[in-house]
Structure 1
Amino acid sequence: MDDVGDRYLRKLVQRCMVLVGKRGSRGRIKTCRIHDLMQDFCVSKAQEENFLHFTNILFMKQCEVQIGKVQRLAIIPKSGDDDIKGVKFNEYPYLRSLLHFMPSQNYSEFKESCFKKFKLVRVLYLENFNKDNKELPKDIGCLIHLRYLSLKDSNINKVPSSIGNLRCMETIDLRIHLDDSYVLIVPNVL
């Protein structure tokens, strides 16, 4: 599958649809990116086909576009967006993927019971997820369909034992900025 994917990627590079970022030691493409115009086209096509819905927090609070139909939601805060409190996730009953990108200078705070509303979620990407008590909420264990969890650059230092309920889990990304005083506690349930 890697070889087939590499061939398709090289064809896209030859057609100037994808730009090469870095190449590996064997000449294979390690990273790539697309032009801004191509990105705008892809975003509009993804929303038109209801594949992925991009929004920011202010827009979510003001607009009721496609609510109920959205399966993949990417929240990309803009200036003036300070947190994710008040977002009504129960209006997205069929949500399968939630990607929340928060700039590193800001912090997002989820309510404790928020995860219970994501019953069908398989992908949960929470960049810069932060809690005052620095513990991942225990109700993360309710997400029985979860396959991918990313808490990249979060302040979480304790993972609850309820994470053992996630039988479908394939990937947990706990990459964080470590300092001398930081200790990450992960229970022996994985």
Structure 2
Amino acid sequence: MLKYTFILSFLMLVIGCQKEVQSNPENYLSATENQEFKEKIVKYFEEPPKKVTIEKKWDSVHNEYYSKKAKSADLYHYYKDNDGYIYFAIAKIAPSLKIKKVATIGKLKIENDTITYYEEICRTWKMEAPELKEKTKVLFDKIVNNEEVENYYTKNSQPEFWIEFPDDINYYDTKNRVWKTK
């Protein structure tokens, strides 16, 4: 309990120092639009089905698998800036003995119903939902406000765990739209 009190106090201090972004998806998207958005990006943030290569994950034969994954994902945050970039934070269930999730925070641009730009800015460590929601909000606001989040990388945030990727070894390749190892 003391640990969560410390985390909450720290989060409140950090949040008080930055501009809060109005990012509740319900303020921008209907329930149908929320689901359509998740369906549009699910093949990026989800792993392909077992024994399916990254190149084959786009095949329509896998649409049912990805549809289920999209339905189980939670769109925590959504914000569209003046340049047309959509920032998002989406959480999915992570393998764990207890129910935990990871969040992906990214940005994209859609033109003529096609994703013309997609970037995953960071992926969190797996956490239980209350902690993940609090930390994701802090990170999301910083990213939308164009503030640095390197202090939240694992090597800089000990003993807390915030951002698992990127790190010194892993980075997001925006051209191929995948995480890669240096």
TM-score (ref. length: structure 1): 0.26
Return the structure number with greater relative CO, CA threshold 8 A, min gap 6: 2
Task: Tell me which protein shows more strand as a share of its residues.
Answer: 2
Task: Tell me which protein shows more helix as a share of its residues.
Answer: 2
